[in-house]
């Protein structure tokens, strides 16, 4: 198996997606900092999200629901025919995102549940799970039809804000890609999707607004055996991952 490659970019997610060629990506898995996080922070149910005067969080800016149509349009454009798209979100955002993704052209299959195995903060039935919306462009069979729609993986405590265990994305990557295909994440955070991709022999393109996210992710992917495709490439050059950008 060839050494999997990665390239990381800092910028707005939609703007970054617009730099990628149409029908060039095999899988999108992402976790936008959805708008309802503001509500949770305001009532103290996400205190781990660090507050600053400039925004609700020192680590990332909230991605408003009003931008979902342009995000989903670009995700649909960059995906190849017969591919999948997974969107992490809370139950409130699910009702907003589902119809907008369908308007962009996706077929919605179902929400997959990430069971965090222990309860988090909250007031009305404390949160133990998160939703992963499962969308399809065209028609692609899952690799293993025996996998359940509940993925169990213990939540990460004390890590990067809203960090997801890579084991969750590993299930999705194994189900929806084969070795050597390209996985991307426009809101990569500390790189859990990228780590899952590299561990399983997939190439990865990641983007985030935060400088620290880039640094953390790069270290994790190099440690996992990934090859930094941007090394020695000018900043305005195309990612060297077999794509023609």
pLDDT in tens, 59-88: 457 899 999 999 999 999 999 999 999 999
Each residue of 148-206: pLDDT tens digit?
999 999 877 666 666 788 999 999 999 999 999 999 999 999 999 999 999 999 999 99
Where is mean pLDDT largest: 43-52, 68-77, 227-236?
68-77
Provide the 8-state DSSP code for 3: P
**Which residues make beta-bridge pairs with 134?**
86, 110
Rounded distance between C-alpha atoms, residue 197 and residue 180, angstroms: 10
Sign of the alpha-carbon dihedral angle for 136, 139, 141, 145: positive
Q: Does an H or E element contain 14, and which?
A: helix 13-17
Q: Tell which residue, 136, 202, 213, has the closest CA to residue 169.
A: 202
Domains of the chain with bracketed CATH:
5-228 (3.40.50.150)
DSSP codes, 54-112 = SSS-SS---B-GGGHHHHHHHHHHHEEEEEEEEEEE-HHHHHHHHHHHHHTTPEEEEEE
CB 191 within 8 A of CB 205: no
Q: What is the pTM of this model?
A: 0.86
3-state secondary structure of 191: coil
Average pLDDT over residues 217-228: 97
């Amino acid at each position: 198996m060839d050494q999997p490659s990665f390239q990381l970019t800092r910028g707005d997610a939609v703007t970054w997606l617009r730099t990628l060629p149409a029908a060039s990506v095999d899988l999108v898995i992402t976790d936008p900092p959805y708008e309802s996080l503001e509500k949770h922070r305001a009532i103290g149910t996400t205190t781990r999200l660090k507050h600053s005067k400039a925004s609700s969080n020192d680590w990332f800016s909230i991605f408003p629901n009003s931008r979902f149509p342009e995000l989903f349009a670009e995700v649909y454009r960059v995906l190849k025919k017969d591919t999948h798209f997974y969107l992490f979100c809370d139950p409130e955002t699910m009702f907003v995102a589902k119809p907008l993704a369908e308007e962009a052209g996706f077929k919605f299959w179902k929400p997959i549940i990430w069971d965090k195995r222990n309860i988090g903060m909250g007031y009305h039935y404390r949160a133990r799970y998160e939703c992963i919306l499962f969308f399809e462009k065209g028609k692609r069979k899952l690799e293993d039809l025996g996998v359940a729609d509940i993925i169990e993986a213990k939540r990460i405590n004390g890590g990067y804000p809203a960090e997801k265990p890579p084991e969750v994305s590993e299930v999705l990557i194994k189900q929806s890609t084969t070795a050597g295909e390209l996985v991307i994440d426009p809101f990569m955070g500390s790189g859990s999707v990228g780590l899952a991709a590299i561990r399983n022999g997939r190439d990865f393109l990641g983007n985030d607004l935060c400088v620290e996210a880039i640094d953390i992710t790069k270290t994790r992917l190099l440690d996992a055996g990934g090859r930094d495709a941007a090394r020695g490439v000018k900043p305005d050059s195309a990612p060297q991952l077999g794509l023609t950008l």
